[in-house]
């Protein structure tokens, strides 16, 4: 009977929010602090926070984790807090559609059409009054709303209380976007109400990505089926994609699927390389054909090393030895070590072969090499075809 490498692959789903987010504790504590009034005197004030960060920095997961936690804390004090997370781009950046969705969570029978933004906002506040509830409205891809509706929409959301003086403040706002540049289009009054509380998420570094991946491996995979160098390779590839944790997690899931499809019983580096080439087909045949004969042979040596090895990384020495064997096979004189080092820089620029200098576990410093975006088997196949065609 075939056994999957997965224990629970749902833990790698893009919508799964872990109970703890590695390397986002500080930002989580800050969000909880900004909204602490919700557990003490929720009707007296509202909050507006912007969460800023590149793709894959954990903006959405951070806010959703906060939403669960602030709701639990508030309910412990008998405060009815509702966290509502809406992606503005899914609603074409239209405030009326965003607010209708928020109302639908409170009252599913509410009509979907025929109301202006102002009417919909008034209805939402009325429903919250009736339930004595308070809402944290998290607007993902908030820039879509700004680009589509400009200052009027932002002003409406941030100046709610001016519509109802003396009444409880019911709605707080979290705007989630990549950077602040869209807010430059806003008029000064709308802009000033937004930029008081900003949380910036920095890109993940490789050690942080490895922590995130190891946490997911422990939840999603059977014990021992994902070696540490596979985690390291996946982190390297995600680091190449601007430290994108979302990309890293998807890559790990796809690699697991390749392992299951081939009934390997474990996730090996070749599974990761196949996975990344299915997401980002970076290598074109035209790029290979433009390489010189010795450049192709050196790359063939690397492909041979990774094809026969279960390890994610190889030393430059190992690849040079395989290159010498390839030169013998094709009866081509080998070039110098210095020239091979120049080839390596070319490959790195093309995204074919990456290198890093490491001194861990060795005397002195050594060069580690890894294949970032193509299966070793496929690369060897393409190179042999290209080299044999050149002989004809």
Residue 287 in this model has a pLDDT that exceeds 80: no
The closest of 12, 108, 23, 28 to 68, measured between CA atoms, is: 28
- pLDDT recorded at residue 362: 45
- Pull the structure tokens for residue 382: 């393409």
Rounded-to-integer distance, Cα 68 and Cα 13, Å: 18
Percent of the chain with pLDDT over 70: 94
H or E stretch covering 370: strand 366-370
Residue 145 in this model has a pLDDT that exceeds 60: yes
Give 228-283 pLDDT, tens digit per residue.
999 999 999 999 888 999 999 999 999 999 999 999 999 999 999 999 888 765 55
Q: Between residues 349 and 90, which one has the greater pLDDT?
A: 90
CATH number for the domain whose boundaries are 205-279: 1.10.8.60
* Domain chopping of the chain, boundaries: 25-201, 205-279, 285-391
- CATH architecture for the domain at 285-391: Orthogonal Bundle (1.10)
Per-residue CA distances from 88 to 49, 63, 85, 148 (Å): 16, 15, 10, 10
Rounded-to-integer distance, Cα 100 and Cα 112, Å: 6
Query: Would you identify the CATH topology of the domain 25-201?
Result: Rossmann fold (3.40.50)
Question: What is the rounded average pLDDT of the residues 50-60?
Answer: 96
Do the domains spanning 25-201 and 205-279 agree at the CATH topology level? no
**First-to-final CA distance of the chain:** 48
Give 110-132 pLDDT, tens digit per residue.
777 667 888 889 899 999 999 99
- pLDDT recorded at residue 153: 87
- pLDDT recorded at residue 39: 92
Residue 282 contacts by C-beta under 8 Å, 6 or more apart in sequence? 350, 351, 352, 372, 373, 374
Give 166-215 pLDDT, tens digit per residue.
889 999 999 999 999 998 888 887 788 787 799 999 999 999 999 999 99
Question: What is the rounded average pLDDT of the residues 129-150?
Answer: 94
For residues 36 and 81, is the Cβ–Cβ distance under 8 A? Answer: no
For residues 264 and 226, is the Cβ–Cβ distance under 8 A? Answer: no
- pLDDT recorded at residue 364: 54
Q: What is the mean pLDDT of the chain?
A: 90
């Amino acid at each position: 009977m075939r056994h999957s490498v997965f224990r629970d692959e749902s833990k790698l789903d893009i919508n799964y929010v872990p109970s703890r987010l590695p390397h986002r504790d500080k930002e989580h504590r800050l969000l909880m602090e900004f909204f602490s009034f919700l557990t003490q005197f929720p009707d007296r004030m509202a909050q507006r926070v912007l969460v800023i960060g590149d793709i894959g920095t954990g903006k959405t997961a951070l806010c959703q984790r906060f939403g669960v936690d602030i709701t639990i804390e508030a309910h412990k004090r008998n405060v009815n807090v509702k966290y509502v997370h809406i992606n503005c781009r899914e609603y074409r950046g239209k405030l009326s559609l965003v607010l209708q969705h928020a109302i639908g969570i409170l009252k599913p029978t509410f009509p979907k059409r025929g109301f202006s933004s102002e009417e919909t906002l008034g209805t939402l506040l009325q429903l919250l009054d009736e339930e004595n509830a308070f809402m944290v409205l998290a607007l993902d891809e908030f820039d879509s709303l700004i680009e589509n509706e400009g200052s009027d929409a932002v002003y409406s959301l941030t100046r709610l209380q001016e519509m109802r003086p003396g009444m409880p403040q019911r709605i707080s706002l979290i705007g989630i976007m990549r950077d602040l540049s869209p807010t430059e289009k806003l008029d000064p009054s709308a802009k000033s109400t937004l930029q008081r509380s900003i949380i910036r998420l920095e890109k993940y570094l490789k050690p942080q990505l490895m922590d995130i991946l190891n946490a997911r491996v422990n939840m999603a995979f059977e014990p021992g089926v994902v070696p540490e160098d596979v985690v390291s390779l996946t982190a390297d590839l995600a680091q190449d994609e601007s430290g994108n944790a979302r990309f890293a997690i998807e890559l790990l899931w796809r690699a697991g699927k390749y392992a299951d499809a081939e009934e390997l019983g474990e996730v090996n580096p070749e599974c990761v390389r196949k996975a990344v080439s299915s997401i980002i087909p970076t290598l074109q045949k035209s790029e290979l054909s433009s390489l010189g004969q010795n450049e192709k042979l050196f790359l063939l040596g690397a492909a041979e090393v990774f094809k026969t090895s279960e390890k994610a990384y190889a030393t430059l020495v190992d690849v040079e030895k395989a290159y010498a064997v390839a030169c013998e096979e094709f009866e081509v004189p080998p070039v110098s070590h210095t020239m091979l080092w120049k080839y390596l820089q070319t490959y790195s620029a093309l995204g074919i072969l990456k290198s890093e200098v490491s001194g861990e576990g060795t005397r002195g410093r050594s060069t580690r090499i890894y294949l970032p975006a193509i299966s070793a088997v496929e690369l060897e196949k393409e190179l042999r075809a290209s080299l044999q065609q050149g002989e004809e």
